[in-house]
Amino acid sequence: MLDELTNDRLSQIGPGTPAGNLFRNYWLPIAGSSEFSMQRPTKRVRILSEDLVLYKDKSGTFGLIGESCAHRRISMYYGIPELNGLRCPYHGWLFDETGRCIEQPAEPEGSTFKDKVRMTAYPVQELGGLLFAYLGESPAPLLPRWDLFTWGDMYRQVGVTVIPCNWLQAMENSIDQTHVEWLHGYYTNYLAELRADASGKEFKPKKVRQHLRIGFDRFEHGIIKRRIEAGGSEQDDDWQIGHPLVFPFILKTGAAHAPSFQIRVPIDDTHTLHFLYKCYRPGVPFPAQDEVPIYDLPWQKEDGDAIVDFTLAQDMMAWITQGAIASRELESLGQADTGIILYRQLLEEQLDLVEAGKDPINVFRNPSENELLLLPQEKVKHGSNEWGRRSGEGDSLSNYLPRPDFLDEIFDQTLAKEKSGETVLADNDTTLSGAVARDVALKK
Q: Which of 109, 134, 159 is the last residue of a domain?
A: 134
State yes or no: pLDDT of 391 exceeds 70.
no
pLDDT higher than threshold 90 for residue 390: no
318 part of a folded domain: yes
Instruction: State yes or no: pLDDT of 389 exceeds 80.
Output: no
Q: Are residues 173 and 98 in the same domain?
A: no
Nearest-angstrom CA–CA distance, 339 and 360: 20
Model pLDDT, residue 435: 67
User: Do 217 and 69 share a structural domain?
Assistant: no
Is it the case that residue 192 has pLDDT exceeding 90?
yes
Q: Are residues 169 and 286 in the same domain?
A: yes
Residue 5 covered by a domain = no
Q: Which one, of 62, 21, 70, 20, lies nearest residue 45 by Cα?
A: 62
Task: Measure the CA dihedral 16/21/23/27, to 10°.
Answer: 110
> Nearest to residue 62, comparing CAs of 157, 11, 134?
134
Predicted pLDDT at 405: 86
One domain for residues 129 and 196 = no
The sign of the torsion formed by the CA atoms of 105, 111, 114, 115 equals positive
Q: Is 261 a member of any domain?
A: yes
Flag whether 15 is in a domain.
no
140 falls within a domain: no
Compute the mean pLDDT over every residue in the chain, rounded to the nearest whole number.
94
**DSSP assignment of 317-370:** HHHHTTTTTT-GGG----GGGHHHHHHHHHHHHHHHHHHTT---TT-B--GGGS
Distance (Å, whole) CA 422 – CA 424 = 6
155, 98: one domain: no
Residue 3, in any domain of the structure: no
Q: Do 199 and 258 lie in a common domain? A: yes
Q: Is 117 exposed, middle or buried (0-12, 13-18, 19+ CB in 10 A)?
A: middle
Laid out side by side, the sheet with 94-95 consists of: 80-82, 85-87, 94-95, 101-103
Segment 56-104, tens digit of pLDDT: 999 999 999 999 999 999 999 999 999 999 999 999 999 999 999 999 9
Number of domains, the chain: 2
For the segment 115-122, the average pLDDT, to the nearest whole number, is 97
> For position 443, what pLDDT does the model report?
64
Whether 27 has a pLDDT exceeding 80, the answer reads yes
The predicted pLDDT at position 239 comes to 94
pLDDT at 392 exceeding the cut of 60: no
Q: Please give the residue range of the domain that contains residue 328.
A: 147-441
Let me know: does 205 contact 193? Beta carbons within 8 Å. Answer: yes
Q: What distance in Å separates the CA atoms of residue 244 and residue 241, rounded to the nearest whole number? A: 9
400, 436: one domain: yes
Binning pLDDT at 50, 70 and 90, where does residue 238 land? very high
CATH of the domain at 88: 2.102.10.10
**Of 305, 322, 303, nearest to 313 (Cα)?**
305
b/e map of 297-315 (b: 16 or more CB within 10 Å)? bebbeeeeeebbbbbbbbb
| The domain boundary residue, chosen from 103, 134, 165 | 134
DSSP 3-state percent helix, strand, coil across the chain (nearest 5): 25, 25, 45
Residues 36 and 151 in one domain: no
Q: Do 152 and 128 lie in a common domain? A: no
Domain presence at residue 13: no
- Cα–Cα nearest to 145, from 265, 246, 16: 246
Average pLDDT of 408-417?
88
The answer as to whether 16 is a domain residue is no
So what's the pLDDT on residue 126? Answer: 98
The helix/strand/coil state of 440 is strand
| 3-class SS of residue 164 | coil
Rounded Cα distance, 319 and 313, in Å: 10
328 and 417, same domain (yes or no)? yes
- Please indicate, yes or no, whether residues 151 and 268 belong to a single structural domain of this protein: yes
Final residue of a structural domain among 78, 107, 134: 134
Residue 393 has pLDDT above 60, yes or no: no
**pLDDT tens digit sequence for 140-170:** 999 999 999 999 989 999 999 999 999 999 9
Regarding whether 167 and 127 lie in a shared domain, the answer is no
